[in-house]
Amino acid sequence: MTFCIGIRVREGVVVLADTRVVRGSEISQKAKLSMFAVGKHDVALMTSGLRSVRDKIVARVDDELAEGDTHARLHNFASAYGGALRSVRDEDGAALNRSGFTFNSHAILGGQLLDDSEPTLLHVYPEGNWVEATDDAPYFIIGRTAYGKPILDRLLTVESTLRQAVSLAYLAFDATRASANDVDFPVDVAVMTKNDKQFIQRRFILDDLAQVHAEWQAHLRSALDELPSTWSDELFGPVIEEPST
Protein backbone atom coordinates (compact mmCIF):
# COMPACT_ATOMS: atom_id res chain seq x y z
CA MET A 1 0.00 0.00 0.00
CA THR A 2 1.07 3.63 0.35
CA PHE A 3 1.01 6.58 2.71
CA CYS A 4 1.32 10.01 1.11
CA ILE A 5 0.23 13.23 2.77
CA GLY A 6 0.19 16.83 1.63
CA ILE A 7 -0.55 19.77 3.93
CA ARG A 8 -1.10 23.41 2.96
CA VAL A 9 -0.88 26.12 5.60
CA ARG A 10 -0.45 29.88 5.30
CA GLU A 11 3.34 29.58 5.47
CA GLY A 12 3.71 26.96 2.75
CA VAL A 13 3.33 23.32 1.75
CA VAL A 14 4.56 20.08 3.35
CA VAL A 15 4.58 16.74 1.57
CA LEU A 16 5.58 13.36 3.01
CA ALA A 17 5.60 9.91 1.42
CA ASP A 18 6.67 6.49 2.64
CA THR A 19 8.73 4.23 0.40
CA ARG A 20 7.54 0.70 1.20
CA VAL A 21 6.27 -1.41 -1.70
CA VAL A 22 4.63 -4.77 -0.99
CA ARG A 23 4.02 -7.33 -3.74
CA GLY A 24 2.66 -10.53 -2.25
CA SER A 25 5.39 -11.73 0.11
CA GLU A 26 8.01 -9.38 -1.36
CA ILE A 27 8.92 -6.06 0.29
CA SER A 28 10.99 -3.39 -1.45
CA GLN A 29 11.55 0.36 -1.44
CA LYS A 30 10.55 2.84 -4.12
CA ALA A 31 10.27 6.61 -3.97
CA LYS A 32 6.68 7.85 -4.20
CA LEU A 33 7.60 11.54 -4.06
CA SER A 34 9.10 13.22 -7.13
CA MET A 35 9.47 16.73 -8.53
CA PHE A 36 8.51 18.36 -11.81
CA ALA A 37 10.40 21.45 -12.97
CA VAL A 38 7.80 23.89 -14.30
CA GLY A 39 9.87 26.81 -15.51
CA LYS A 40 11.92 27.81 -12.47
CA HIS A 41 9.37 26.38 -10.06
CA ASP A 42 9.06 22.95 -8.44
CA VAL A 43 5.87 20.94 -8.37
CA ALA A 44 5.82 18.05 -5.93
CA LEU A 45 4.07 14.85 -7.01
CA MET A 46 3.04 11.91 -4.83
CA THR A 47 1.04 8.97 -6.15
CA SER A 48 -0.72 5.84 -5.01
CA GLY A 49 -1.88 2.94 -7.17
CA LEU A 50 -0.11 0.97 -9.87
CA ARG A 51 3.49 2.05 -10.34
CA SER A 52 3.44 1.30 -14.07
CA VAL A 53 0.53 3.71 -14.54
CA ARG A 54 2.28 6.40 -12.53
CA ASP A 55 5.50 6.08 -14.51
CA LYS A 56 3.70 6.29 -17.86
CA ILE A 57 1.79 9.42 -16.80
CA VAL A 58 4.96 11.09 -15.49
CA ALA A 59 6.81 10.31 -18.72
CA ARG A 60 4.04 11.96 -20.75
CA VAL A 61 3.99 15.06 -18.57
CA ASP A 62 7.80 15.30 -18.70
CA ASP A 63 7.65 15.12 -22.51
CA GLU A 64 5.07 17.91 -22.64
CA LEU A 65 7.21 20.10 -20.37
CA ALA A 66 10.28 19.40 -22.50
CA GLU A 67 8.36 20.52 -25.58
CA GLY A 68 7.82 23.90 -23.97
CA ASP A 69 4.45 23.60 -22.26
CA THR A 70 4.18 26.25 -19.56
CA HIS A 71 1.75 26.53 -16.70
CA ALA A 72 1.30 29.77 -14.80
CA ARG A 73 -0.84 28.25 -12.04
CA LEU A 74 -0.83 24.88 -10.36
CA HIS A 75 -4.42 24.13 -11.36
CA ASN A 76 -3.35 24.46 -15.02
CA PHE A 77 -0.63 21.91 -14.40
CA ALA A 78 -3.11 19.63 -12.58
CA SER A 79 -5.44 19.74 -15.59
CA ALA A 80 -2.54 18.76 -17.86
CA TYR A 81 -1.61 15.93 -15.50
CA GLY A 82 -5.25 14.81 -15.48
CA GLY A 83 -5.28 14.82 -19.28
CA ALA A 84 -2.22 12.58 -19.38
CA LEU A 85 -3.83 10.31 -16.79
CA ARG A 86 -7.00 9.97 -18.87
CA SER A 87 -5.01 9.13 -22.00
CA VAL A 88 -3.18 6.36 -20.14
CA ARG A 89 -6.49 5.13 -18.72
CA ASP A 90 -7.97 4.96 -22.23
CA GLU A 91 -4.97 3.00 -23.48
CA ASP A 92 -4.38 0.61 -20.57
CA GLY A 93 -7.53 0.54 -18.45
CA ALA A 94 -9.29 -2.31 -20.24
CA ALA A 95 -6.17 -4.49 -20.36
CA LEU A 96 -5.53 -3.92 -16.67
CA ASN A 97 -9.11 -4.84 -15.82
CA ARG A 98 -8.86 -8.04 -17.82
CA SER A 99 -5.77 -8.94 -15.79
CA GLY A 100 -7.55 -8.28 -12.50
CA PHE A 101 -6.00 -4.87 -11.78
CA THR A 102 -7.86 -1.68 -10.97
CA PHE A 103 -6.94 1.66 -12.53
CA ASN A 104 -6.66 3.47 -9.21
CA SER A 105 -4.02 6.14 -9.70
CA HIS A 106 -4.43 8.98 -7.20
CA ALA A 107 -2.02 11.92 -7.07
CA ILE A 108 -1.23 14.84 -4.79
CA LEU A 109 0.33 17.91 -6.40
CA GLY A 110 1.81 20.76 -4.38
CA GLY A 111 3.65 24.00 -5.01
CA GLN A 112 3.33 27.66 -5.94
CA LEU A 113 3.72 28.58 -9.60
CA LEU A 114 4.33 32.00 -11.08
CA ASP A 115 0.77 33.35 -10.91
CA ASP A 116 -0.34 31.52 -7.77
CA SER A 117 -0.91 34.01 -4.96
CA GLU A 118 -0.21 31.39 -2.28
CA PRO A 119 0.94 27.80 -1.93
CA THR A 120 -1.49 25.35 -3.50
CA LEU A 121 -2.29 21.68 -2.93
CA LEU A 122 -4.41 19.52 -5.26
CA HIS A 123 -5.70 15.94 -5.25
CA VAL A 124 -6.06 14.39 -8.71
CA TYR A 125 -8.49 11.46 -8.92
CA PRO A 126 -8.24 8.39 -11.20
CA GLU A 127 -10.78 10.01 -13.53
CA GLY A 128 -8.41 12.95 -14.10
CA ASN A 129 -10.48 15.54 -12.24
CA TRP A 130 -9.10 17.34 -9.21
CA VAL A 131 -9.99 19.21 -6.02
CA GLU A 132 -8.02 21.88 -4.18
CA ALA A 133 -7.15 21.97 -0.49
CA THR A 134 -9.03 24.76 1.24
CA ASP A 135 -8.73 26.68 4.50
CA ASP A 136 -11.23 24.37 6.18
CA ALA A 137 -9.76 21.21 4.63
CA PRO A 138 -6.01 21.86 4.34
CA TYR A 139 -4.66 18.35 3.76
CA PHE A 140 -4.94 15.26 1.57
CA ILE A 141 -3.91 11.67 2.26
CA ILE A 142 -3.77 8.96 -0.39
CA GLY A 143 -3.14 5.26 0.11
CA ARG A 144 -3.71 4.30 3.74
CA THR A 145 -6.03 7.16 4.64
CA ALA A 146 -7.75 6.17 7.88
CA TYR A 147 -5.12 5.99 10.60
CA GLY A 148 -3.55 9.43 10.25
CA LYS A 149 -6.75 11.46 9.99
CA PRO A 150 -7.75 11.75 13.69
CA ILE A 151 -4.71 13.75 14.82
CA LEU A 152 -4.91 15.99 11.76
CA ASP A 153 -8.62 16.67 12.21
CA ARG A 154 -8.03 17.52 15.87
CA LEU A 155 -4.90 19.67 15.63
CA LEU A 156 -4.23 20.92 12.10
CA THR A 157 -5.57 24.24 10.86
CA VAL A 158 -4.54 26.46 7.99
CA GLU A 159 -3.02 28.79 10.61
CA SER A 160 -0.69 26.07 11.92
CA THR A 161 2.96 26.91 11.46
CA LEU A 162 5.01 25.15 8.83
CA ARG A 163 7.01 23.39 11.56
CA GLN A 164 3.77 22.20 13.17
CA ALA A 165 2.60 20.94 9.78
CA VAL A 166 5.82 18.95 9.37
CA SER A 167 5.37 17.44 12.85
CA LEU A 168 1.73 16.56 12.18
CA ALA A 169 2.61 14.98 8.83
CA TYR A 170 5.14 12.78 10.64
CA LEU A 171 2.67 11.90 13.43
CA ALA A 172 0.03 10.92 10.87
CA PHE A 173 2.62 8.66 9.23
CA ASP A 174 3.66 7.28 12.63
CA ALA A 175 0.05 6.39 13.47
CA THR A 176 -0.36 4.68 10.10
CA ARG A 177 2.91 2.78 10.44
CA ALA A 178 1.80 1.50 13.87
CA SER A 179 -1.33 -0.07 12.40
CA ALA A 180 -0.38 -1.03 8.81
CA ASN A 181 2.53 -3.30 7.95
CA ASP A 182 2.64 -2.07 4.34
CA VAL A 183 3.67 1.49 5.32
CA ASP A 184 7.17 2.13 6.68
CA PHE A 185 10.45 4.01 6.60
CA PRO A 186 12.32 5.51 4.89
CA VAL A 187 10.13 8.57 4.38
CA ASP A 188 10.69 11.39 1.93
CA VAL A 189 9.73 14.84 3.23
CA ALA A 190 9.75 18.12 1.32
CA VAL A 191 8.86 21.67 2.37
CA MET A 192 8.17 24.78 0.31
CA THR A 193 7.87 28.09 2.13
CA LYS A 194 5.43 30.62 0.67
CA ASN A 195 6.84 32.48 -2.35
CA ASP A 196 9.79 30.10 -2.70
CA LYS A 197 10.35 28.46 -6.08
CA GLN A 198 11.82 25.16 -4.95
CA PHE A 199 11.14 22.52 -2.34
CA ILE A 200 13.77 21.45 0.17
CA GLN A 201 13.68 17.66 0.28
CA ARG A 202 15.21 15.10 2.62
CA ARG A 203 14.93 11.35 3.24
CA PHE A 204 14.67 10.08 6.81
CA ILE A 205 15.25 6.56 8.10
CA LEU A 206 13.94 5.03 11.32
CA ASP A 207 17.03 5.97 13.34
CA ASP A 208 16.65 9.63 12.37
CA LEU A 209 13.27 9.84 14.10
CA ALA A 210 13.66 7.24 16.85
CA GLN A 211 13.92 9.89 19.59
CA VAL A 212 10.87 11.74 18.27
CA HIS A 213 8.90 8.48 18.25
CA ALA A 214 10.00 7.61 21.79
CA GLU A 215 9.10 11.05 23.14
CA TRP A 216 5.71 11.01 21.44
CA GLN A 217 4.98 7.59 22.98
CA ALA A 218 6.00 8.91 26.39
CA HIS A 219 3.76 11.97 25.99
CA LEU A 220 0.81 9.75 25.09
CA ARG A 221 1.35 7.50 28.11
CA SER A 222 1.65 10.53 30.39
CA ALA A 223 -1.51 12.06 28.95
CA LEU A 224 -3.39 8.80 29.56
CA ASP A 225 -2.22 8.70 33.18
CA GLU A 226 -3.31 12.31 33.73
CA LEU A 227 -6.67 12.01 31.98
CA PRO A 228 -9.56 12.60 34.41
CA SER A 229 -11.31 9.28 35.05
CA THR A 230 -13.72 10.01 37.89
CA TRP A 231 -16.57 10.06 35.35
CA SER A 232 -16.22 6.27 35.08
CA ASP A 233 -16.13 5.49 38.82
CA GLU A 234 -19.64 4.01 38.82
CA LEU A 235 -18.58 1.45 36.23
CA PHE A 236 -16.28 -0.17 38.77
CA GLY A 237 -18.78 -0.56 41.60
CA PRO A 238 -18.44 0.61 45.19
CA VAL A 239 -15.09 0.67 46.82
CA ILE A 240 -14.94 -2.02 49.49
CA GLU A 241 -12.61 -1.23 52.33
CA GLU A 242 -10.58 -4.06 53.78
CA PRO A 243 -11.35 -4.68 57.46
CA SER A 244 -8.66 -3.49 59.79
CA THR A 245 -6.68 -6.12 61.67
What mean pLDDT is predicted for residues 108-129?
97
pLDDT in tens, 32-73: 999 999 999 999 999 999 999 999 999 999 999 999 988 999
Mean pLDDT of the chain: 95
| Whether the predicted pLDDT of 136 surpasses 70 | yes
pLDDT in tens, 167-198: 999 999 999 999 999 999 999 999 999 999 99
State the Cα–Cα distance between residues 13 and 209, nearest whole angstrom. 21
pLDDT (0 to 100) of residue 238: 81
Look up the pTM and report it. 0.94
Which residues are CB-neighbours of 20 under 8 A, at least 6 positions away?
27, 28, 29, 182, 183, 184, 185
pLDDT in tens, 227-242: 999 999 999 988 677 7
Residue 76 CA to chain centroid, in angstroms? 21
pLDDT (0 to 100) of residue 237: 86
